[in-house]
Amino acid sequence: MRGNLSEEIVTITIEENVNQKAISLNQKSGFGNLKDNILELSIIEAFYLMEKGRLNIHNLGSDEKLEVNYIRDIIKVNNGYGKYLVYKDLKDRGYIIKAGFKYGSEFRLYERGKSPGAGHSHYLVKVIHENHEIHALDFASYVRVAHGVKKSLLLAVVDDEEDITYYQIEWTKP
């Protein structure tokens, strides 16, 4: 399947009898946003599919297929590689993952078998590097926002060896 990269969005054009798999990616696996006849994927979603051999990424208007290392470098330049590692880990575990920036987090996480429209996400996922300092007020705001929208906060800590440790944080009243 062919996707076209423009800035940090990869689009797949869906035409009759062409790229019908893109519709399935959206409806069954929760990838991207389907608008008219175009599936829009974040660069992280597209890179995941590329690594799995399910998507070829091209620069918009070019027939040249982009290399895996080129896309990885784009993600790394924008300090998103830790975010990608968490996305990949959770996706490989069978979760449906959607953007969480509306809630100040990297992702919204849906339970296995649940998808947007069929249920609500149960977690907001915040990704940090093990050497990153978190100020107490920022940490409290992450938890407060998650609690305010009836979700738990999942703190994903990525270390230098690219291992991930998850902490489930919940709001409690004293």
Q: Check if the beta carbon of residue 24 is closer than 8 Å to that of residue 14.
A: no
Edge-to-edge, what's the strand order for the sheet holding 123-129? Answer: 96-99, 107-110, 123-129, 152-158, 164-169
Out of 65, 76, 102, 120, the active site residue is: 120
- Please give the single-letter amino acid code of residue 139: F
Q: Which two tokens stand for residue 151?
A: 């979700």
Out of 81, 87, 110, 142, the active site residue is: 110
114 as an active site residue: the answer is: no
110 as an active site residue: the answer is: yes
Whose structure tokens read 């040249």?
Answer: 64
Out of 83, 91, 98, 151, the active site residue is: 151
122 as an active site residue: the answer is: no
What is the set of active-site residues? 110, 120, 151
